[in-house]
Amino acid sequence: MNSSRRTTLSRLLWGAAGVVALPVAYVAARFLRPPVTEPARCVAGSIEKIRSQPTTLVRVGLNDAVVQPMPDGTLRAISLRCTHTGCPVRWVDASREFHCSCHGGRFDSDGRVIAGPPPRPLQRLRVEQSGGNVIVIDEPPSDEPPSA
């Protein structure tokens, strides 16, 4: 067999090997992504109890959150995980603000950023009512797209 045919064949083979290697690398990269999991949820308390308090502190998964009855009768939950690098924020009653002690981020009572490095308002969480209880779920409310 002449050598040019040999070279063509060998290129073809290495090409085929490359065609195989690329999808393998792609599959490996996708495989290493974190698994899909059920969002954390917690029972915040009975509906009456939640409605009777201005705020209720709950723990959803690994983070704290507050549940608040709104004037229009709905319930709202705000995650107390700072949107900067994830430190816990705490409610400061005197100034009616959420303060983050890590880098001085501050949020108003609706969770909007007032000062400091946080790029986004505090995350709203989904609230469901089931069996007379209020349930907080660690994912964005259905009326709000997940923040980037």
Give residues in contact with ligand FES (CB under 6 A): 82, 84-85, 87, 100, 102-105, 116-118
Interface with another protein includes 132 (CB under 8 A)? no
**In terms of CB distance, is 21 or 92 closer to ligand FES?**
92
Instruction: Give the one entry of ligand FES, another protein, none that residue 20 binds, where binding means its C-beta sits below a cut-off of 5 to 8 angstroms depending on kind.
Output: another protein
Query: What residue type is assigned to position 37 of the chain?
Result: T
Q: Which two tokens stand for residue 145?
A: 């797209």
Compute CA distances 10 → 15, 39, 111, whole Å: 8, 51, 63
Distance CA 54, CA 61 (A): 22
**In terms of CB distance, is 66 or 82 closer to ligand FES?**
82
Q: How many residues bind another protein (CB under 8 A)?
A: 26
Among 22, 41, 91, 140, binds another protein (CB under 8 A): 41
Among 36, 70, 94, 148, binds another protein (CB under 8 A): 36
Distance from the first to the final alpha carbon of the chain: 59
Element (H, E) at 128: strand 124-130
